[in-house]
Amino acid sequence: LVSCTKRTKTPKSELAVCRYVLLLAELEAHQDAWPFLRPVKLKSVPGYKKIIKKPMDFFTIKEKLINNMYLNQENFVIDVNLVFDNCQKFNEDDSEIGRAGHRMKRFFDKRWTELLH
């Protein structure tokens, strides 16, 4: 993972990267994270490729984080929210995956706010 001590950035964005790394680790460890840990296999989920224009998952977010592809915090939050928006679009609210998505979104929103203060 990104070494939080690497002095390649201004201290402010360095702290931000540590915040994302921490938060992402919490998301991945959450008991309801199972549908979101890896990219959806488009061949094993009929309709997903057609309906979801921009697939996203926690592993892909981690890779982007490690490759320093989040130049500002907005892009990190945009990708995390993409995971949950895709989930709401494809899954019924009253379904296993739909409910997991709502719980994960609530958890993320809470932790994101806490980490900002």
Identify the H or E element spanning 114: helix 96-116
Site for ligand 6RS in 48-77 (CB under 6 A): 48
Closest CB 43 distance from ligand 6RS, rounded Å: 10
Look up residue 17 and give its amino acid.
V
Q: Which of 17, 40, 61, 65 binds ligand 6RS (CB under 6 A)?
A: 40
Angle 73-90/58-66 helices, nearest 10 degrees? 160
Cβ(104)–Cβ(33) under 8 Å? yes
Single out the residue of 13, 35, 81, 112 in contact with ligand 6RS (rule: CB under 6 A): 35
Q: How far is it, in rounded angstroms, from Cα 47 to Cα 104?
A: 23
Which stretch in 22-30, 32-40, 72-80, 108-116 sits in contact with ligand 6RS by CB under 6 A?
32-40
Residues contributing to the site for ligand 6RS (CB under 6 A): 35-36, 40, 44-45, 48, 87, 90-91, 97
